[in-house]
Amino acid sequence: MLIIAQHGEIFIILACLFGFFMAWGVGANDVANAMGTSVGSKAITIKQAIIIAVIFEFLGAWLAGGEVTATIRGGMLDPVLLEANPQLLVYGMLSALLAAAIWLMIASARGWPVSTTHSIVGAIVGFGAVGLGVEAVAWSRVGTIASSWVISPLLAGTIGFVLFKSVHHLIFENKDPFAAAKRYVPGYIFLVGFIVSMVTLTKGLTHVGLDLTFGQSFLLSILLGAAIMGLGLILQRRIKYEKNTSDHFGYANVERVFGVLMIFTACAMAFAHGSNDVANAVGPLAAVISVVRSDGVIDSAALVPWWVLVLGGAGIVVGLVTYGHKVIATVGTGITELTPSRGFAATLAAATTVVLASGTGLPISTTHTLVGAILGVGLARGMAALNLRVIGTIVMSWLITLPAGAGLAILFFFMFKGMFG
């Protein structure tokens, strides 16, 4: 208690700096995943992707980022074992933020799409097991999160596979694919708007004073989905059929219609990512602020101050703008060849999975989800469509992430312990 009273301000300043650094890492590595499919399929340019991400990542983090934050902040360690020495939680959360941020910086420099959720969970588990004792870690909670690392790519891959097959059946196998695209794409746009609205309203907006029932959220989501579909129809009308001698079936025109849809799925994915992954940066930061402000009382249910979500959102944006292009290249072009229709199926599948997880408070990996969705879409075209060498490198980087985060966190934990006592 005495250590927290003496160094409280320093702890909060360090937590804000490390939290911003961690959010920068999330932006540099993970947001690239959210935008990779849109850029890789040439539906939008990298400049447009950055503008979309800046707006929607920030909104997702601020409006819907509170739910998963509680899991990262209070779900990993047994708070009872820390009551006598609350400063250990402060050291641990600081070291977890710094460790995960450094690993993300290394991975982003190499162009590896790793999991920011893996990084922070590995770091928290590492310092908890070594610094506090194996019994301090809530292993059942860790087990739930670990299972989500398998479930999320499988679920996203399955949804991606089914979505792409539906697009193929309804549009590409039609006698007039361009007319079919114009007929069915508004329905897909409605689906995007509805899913994102639903999760935002059901889970996200309580901390900004809007508390709606499930029924109200459902009706409002239908209205918002319809409004977004209307906007899609306006944009779609501008697309005119262009004759191309090398394109007998008019598939290039169909892909241009899907290009409009990709703008909406890019917004949805950015929002979904911001709501889910801001927790990785601000969860530990919120824990430090809570402990310092309550003079050492550990309360896993403490509210996240609004400015903490803003800090996390700002860090994500800076990370994407300064360093996001390397991972965008790996995700967008490295795994399989993407067109707007394939990119749409992958992005909507990933956004749906992330949104479902964010709604249940399960901190899944956006990276695993999106890579799973891209694999699902690739498999729908056959095994030859996948670049197995790139996939092998990605899986390898995933396996290294947990021990790398844990090892660095243990090192920093003892460093902070030595510095502050």
Which residue bears the tokens 């980087």?
397
Q: pTM for the complete prediction?
A: 0.80
3-state DSSP helix/strand/coil percent for the chain, to nearest 5? Answer: 85, 0, 15
* pLDDT, average across residues 315-331: 81
Which pLDDT belongs to residue 51?
86
- Please tell me the predicted confidence (pLDDT) of residue 16: 93
- More confident call, 310 vs 359: 310
Sequence-ordered list of residues with C-beta below 8 angstroms from that of 391, at least 6 positions apart, any chain: 335, 371, 375
Answer whether residue 72 shows pLDDT above 60. Answer: no
Rounded mean pLDDT, 243-254: 67
Does the structure show a pLDDT above 80 at 79?
no
pLDDT over threshold 90, residue 281: no
Residue 332, pLDDT above cutoff 90: no
Q: Helix or strand or coil: residue 249?
A: coil
- Tens-place pLDDT, residues 5-57: 788 789 999 999 999 999 999 888 877 766 777 887 787 887 888 888 888 88
CA angle, 341 then 347 then 350, to 5°: 140
pLDDT digits over 369-383, tens only? 888 888 888 888 777
Q: How far from each other are the two terminal CA atoms of the chain, in whole angstroms?
A: 12
Q: Does residue 351 carry a pLDDT above 80? A: no
Query: Dihedrals φ, ψ of 137, to 5°?
Result: -85, 130
Which structural domain range is residue 305 located in? 2-420
- Look at 96 and 204; give whichever has higher pLDDT: 96
Highest mean pLDDT among 132-146, 225-239, 254-268 belongs to: 225-239
Copy the structure tokens of residue 153: 């790519």
Q: Give the model's confidence band at 412: pLDDT under 50 very low, under 70 low, under 90 confident, else very high.
A: very high
Structure tokens at 98: 């710094």
Least confident stretch, 112-126, 263-277, 289-303, 403-417: 289-303
Assign residue 64 a region (left: φ > 0; alpha: ψ between -120 and 50; beta: otherwise): alpha
User: What pLDDT score was predicted for residue 246?
Assistant: 61
**Out of 53-62, 65-74, 282-291, 311-320, least confident range:** 65-74
**Stretch 317-328: mean pLDDT, rounded?**
82
- Structural domain tally of the chain? 1
| pLDDT value, residue 302 | 56
Please tell me the distance from the alpha carbon of residue 89 to that of residue 15, in angstroms, as a whole number: 12
What is the per-residue pLDDT across 203-239, written as a single tens digit (0 to 9) for each? 555 555 666 777 888 899 899 999 989 988 888 888 7
**What confidence score (pLDDT) does residue 64 get?**
64
Mean pLDDT of the chain: 80
Q: Where are the alpha helices (DSSP H) in 111-138?
A: 116-127
HEC-encoded secondary structure of 225-239: HHHHHHHHHHHHHCC
Phi, psi angle pair for 297, to nearest 5° = -80, 125
Q: What pLDDT sits at residue 111?
A: 81
Residue 321 or 169, more confident: 169
